[in-house]
Amino acid sequence: MSTLESTQEAIRLIQASGRISAFSGAGISTEAGIPDFRSPSGMWQDPDLVEQLSLSAFRDSPEQFYRASIGLFRTIARAEPTPAHRLLARLEEAGKLDAVVTQNIDGLHQKAGSRKVFEVHGTYRTGHCPQCGGAFDMDPFYRAIESGRLKVPLCSRCRVPVKPDIVLFEELLPEDAWKGAVGAMEQCDLLLVLGSSLVVYPAAELPSIALASGARMVLVNLDPTVYDRSAVVVRDRLGNFAEAALAALR
């Protein structure tokens, strides 16, 4: 099946479905300028950053954690939603899409207008105090760190370092987000997988739940995945697919 034919078949499935869920990975945000982990230009190429993105590294040296990660956080803060993000928001607005499940921490789905988003790897936008549980908007902290006015954000009550609400290495996934994601997989009649290599577990198990529940699957990704035989596969850039789908849905 050609790229044009698979795109047309994917759009036909979207038009025929009324209970769509979406599962997005790093590929949906690389087109917004946010680096992924595994590509030649991804974050795995920065050993200092990778070393610091663990719970033990944060606990051992919060200052080093923020020094290593502030560039990533500020890149995310400046990013804008892509056509693929806008497509999902449009489908939700039209009453066709029930939920977005994302592996990304960037909040671009919400920025595009999506309202029901399960962030299984957390979010960079908020943080909490590990001692008292107090919640914080992280953007003022990031701005102060970037400008050199602050080294480590501290809880105003406990004076201990505030941790961003991202899932670091050595941490479990957030329970509420995971339960919501599983529910979205169980209830959909079509799953749109956008920009995920489907190799990071346990999140990569989610499409199997949708398939076991009888859903069809559309998979838009430049590289092959283990689920290709179970899906309508569109081997194209997400921006191209999303623009075609948005045009067809007008």
CA distances to 6, 192, 201, 206 from 214, in Å: 20, 14, 22, 13
Label the pairing between strands 135-137 and 163-166.
Answer: unpaired
* Joined tokens for residue 51: 């070393």
The answer to whether residue 109 is catalytic is no
**What is the dihedral sign for C-alpha 62, 63, 69, 73?**
positive
Alpha-helical runs (H) found in the chain: 3-16, 27-30, 47-52, 55-60, 62-78, 83-93, 108-112, 139-147, 175-187, 206-212, 238-248
Give the C-alpha separation, 110 to 28, whole Å: 14
Q: What are the φ/ψ torsions at residue 101 (nearest 5 degrees)?
A: -110, 125
72 phi/psi in degrees, rounded to 5: -65, -45
Q: Do residues 102 and 117 lie in contact, with contact meaning Cβ atoms separated by under 8 Å? A: yes
CA-CA distance, 208 to 233, in Å (whole number)? 16
Query: Which one from 85, 109, 121, 128 is the annotated catalytic residue?
Result: 121
Catalytic site positions: 121
